[in-house]
Amino acid sequence: MKRLEEFLDWGGTKKDIAFLIISGIALLVSIFDFVPLPFDAAWVAIVLCGVPIVLEAILGLITAFDIKADVLVSIALIASLVIGEDFAAGEIAFIMQLGALLEDLTVARARAGIEKLVHLTPRAARVVVGLEEKEIPAEQVKIGDLLRVLPGETVPVDGVIRSGQTSIDQSVMTGESLPVDKTVGDEVSSGTVNQFGSFDMIATKVGEDSSIQRMIRLVQSADAGKAKIVGIADRWATWIVATALTAALLTWIITGQIIRSVTILVVFCPCALVLATPTAIMAAVGNATKHGFLVREGDALERLAAVSKFAFDKTGTLTFGTPKVVKVQSSMPNFSNKQLFAYAAGAELRSEHPLGKAVVNSYRAEFGEEIDSPEQFEMLPGRGVRAVINGKEIVAGNKELLGQCRIPLSKEVKNMAKRCLNDGDTVIYPAIDGQPAGFLALADTLRPEASAVIKEIKQSGASTVLLTGDHLKAAQHIADQLSVDEVHANCLPEDKLVYIDCTQNKKEPVCMIGDGINDAPALKKAYVGLAMGGIGSDIAVGAADIALVHDDIKEIPHLFRLSKRMMLTIKCNLAFSMALNFVAIILAMTGILNPVVGALVHNAGSIFVIIHSALLLKWRKK
């Protein structure tokens, strides 16, 4: 069904383009009389382009008394036909349908983010009854059921771990790329992924109350308050229609010449007014595309110009989303920092944990050397690793692992590591042959352009906010480095949504910039949603108005300034088209303009608007 709708939609667009091409050729034939015909070729444009406009205007008036620009266009078109000015009628219809097509081409296609999110919903659960396991559909799980989750499986419902230790990938809920260690008594959420150890859990929230289902409802409802921008011509249509009809009627009464009244209706046809916005948007979208943005919503740039706050997710947006070793500190006199790093990398060589991989990759990147393979290796879920390298027993992991192995940390190591922990770093403590050897600190790395982006956005008149699922210390450390105005840490998807909702209720439109599934509700709720298209999830991109194709955030300030420039162009276009209309109506009232010349005058206005808008294609602030 969906594919059928898309086919019909694209078919309709192709049909409109074909009708415009045929109508354009017919108008040229009408002007230059290329081909002798028994009727004026302009009638082709009248039928193909004009009849749909008139029918739509009549339908709107009958069903909802909705006076839009097409009502005035229909009046001008019919009036031109009444006095025999076929070319003027065809030209009016052609220009109006061209403007409508340009506007349609800026409107985004239906988004499928919710469907993709639904696919993340766990399908099955493994219920433990006595000594047996039984697989049942996830929707049949009841509160209090004992469930078993194996490595690599998705947690089926919300619950609390009863036995076992593991690491959970919570990126669906928090956006943070690193797994979180979990043990007995810790809560786990549906939709998150069990990385390493198996565990048993007691179900506490099932069905519609589970975390993944709440996420789906958030995405579905977040769009409700985002009103679409109504076209300028349609907003002013009632007044334009009333003014044009009044002027035409008074002119007929005063002069007694219906030709002047018809000319007023023709010149007051809002062709330039209708073209003012879509041509500028199309040109700005073309500019944005060249700078790596895919504008998915036609009015997204209009909304972006009004934004007063930019809310950034941290991981994968302001940072690369991949940790690396930022500090190595040996506490053993006979071991240099490099030697400690090498032993830690060897111990982690076979680890599947993202932190272990980060240690290995960081060592290779810094020294470019081969890493000694361990003779023995053991993964300790939720704790770390144990390995034997060159005859030495290496243990590397968190403080709990060292405590479990009865390896005491010195006060000196604790104090040095504390400074890294205060900066939001993750710390690994290696021990060699039962002796604490120091620590390695890992941190997500800032994008080099992040600081300049924040600075330029603030210079352009907007404030900045950091909304992250990471803990407060890591969030504050990043915010301090970038001079972000406001920080909100430990944010779940609903927390980001609530912040944006409250802020926008205070008449402060927000542009949300994120990359993960957990950002989808906020991206959709925000006045403008901007997703990282390269590394971001399909669901985040589907929920956003604009996608950043190459993940190069340095162009975001340009997009913001471009949106403001686009709105200035639109306002200039509108002012010019209205001024031209009023001058033309005065000339029509005095009899200086006839219908054909009047049509050419407002056609010239339309050409000016198109050329002026086209200047946006290459615009960039110097």
Beta-bridge partner residues of 146: 202
The token duo for 484 is: 């972000």
The string of DSSP letters for 361-423 reads HHHHHHH--PPPPPSEEEEETTTEEEEEETTEEEEEE-HHHHHHTT-PPPHHHHHHHHHHHHT
DSSP string over 320-366 = EEEEEEEEEEE-STT--HHHHHHHHHHHTTT--SHHHHHHHHHHHHH
Determine which one of 40, 86, 313, 470 is catalytic.
Answer: 313
d(CA 210, CA 157): 6
Q: Is 470 an active-site residue?
A: no
Q: How many Cα atoms occupy the beta-carbon half-sphere of 60 within 13 Å? A: 17
How many Å apart are CA 157 and CA 137, to the nearest integer? 11
- How many C-beta atoms surround the C-beta of residue 295 within 10 A? 22
Decide: 563 and 288 in contact? Cβ < 8 Å.
Answer: no
Q: Which of 285, 308, 283 is nearest to 298 (CA)?
A: 285
Alpha carbon distances (Å) from 574 to 115, 317, 435, 588:
40, 37, 76, 21
102, 95, 48, 104: which is closest to 266 by C-alpha? Answer: 95
Walk across the sheet containing 132-137 and list its strands. 132-137, 124-129, 146-149, 199-205, 158-163, 187-188
What is the secondary structure of 501-570 as a DSSP string? HHHHHTT--EEEEE-SGGGHHHHHHSSEEEEETTTS-HHHHHH-SEEETT--GGGHHHHHHHHHHHHHHH
* Cα-Cα-Cα-Cα dihedral sign, residues 25, 31, 34, 35: positive
Q: Which residues contact 540 (CB under 8 A, 6 or more apart)?
A: 113, 514, 515, 516, 517, 519, 520, 523, 531, 532
Strands 463-467, 187-188: pairing kind: unpaired
Catalytic residues: 313
